[in-house]
Structure 1
Amino acid sequence: MEKREINPWTWQDARSYSQAVEVKNVESTLYISGQTAINDDGISSDADIRSQLVQTIENLEKVIHCAGYEMKNIVRLNIYTTESTALFENFDILQAWIIKNKIKQASTVFEVKSLFETLKVELEATVVK
């Protein structure tokens, strides 16, 4: 598999994403449903957005590992939130995770009116190998 980032500018680097990611010679692609801060018993978190973001990332990692893929091969990461201001105040968690895992992804943030039950953030990913 070959990945190539397309970035006509440099400003996106500080925001931990790429303008586009081209992938060639892919063996397989994993399309992951939106992952949220729901525990192993199916109970939605009612914690603050920072705590929910941590649990959401852990749940996303669990799906990726169970499927036999690697975090560094996330090529698309969409972020849904009910509180964009609070998300950006806690964006350091997401950026640290992206940097730690050497992820180079195309990404979009969406503010939505609501998510399931008490949830404040959801991550939807596409991973390749």
Structure 2
Amino acid sequence: MALKAGTIVDGVVVNITKFGAFVEVEGKTGLVHISEVADNYVKDIKEHLKEQDKVKVKVLSVEEDGKISLSIKQANPTKKTVRPMEIDWNKNQRSGGDFEDKLSKFLKDSEERFQDIKKHQDVKGKSKKSVMK
């Protein structure tokens, strides 16, 4: 059977390098890049694989020059079921007042801070003008 992109086959790790692992599949050797070994970050590939390990790989591509790109992580996808959070929109979920109260407080605090900054800049500006005279 000829290898085609997208097929999942069994293979054997024949060599490990710092950038990936060479895996023999159906009499041919392909590369599993280090980024395709596991779902999480792989710093040292030897912590995940060793020579002669039997692995299931997905064929990513077969180039005209014979290079075969493989993936272990895509051949063994982890099933993460993510369910959307259910929200009761009719219920006030936050304590401490409603939105209008918080917005009003924010605007008041913001205006007070702005006035303090403006006052500080006016004082600085007047002292520079008196020095220049």
Q: TM-score, normalised by structure 2?
A: 0.20
Higher relative contact order (CA 8 A, sep 6+): 1
Query: Which one has the largest radius of gyration?
Result: 2
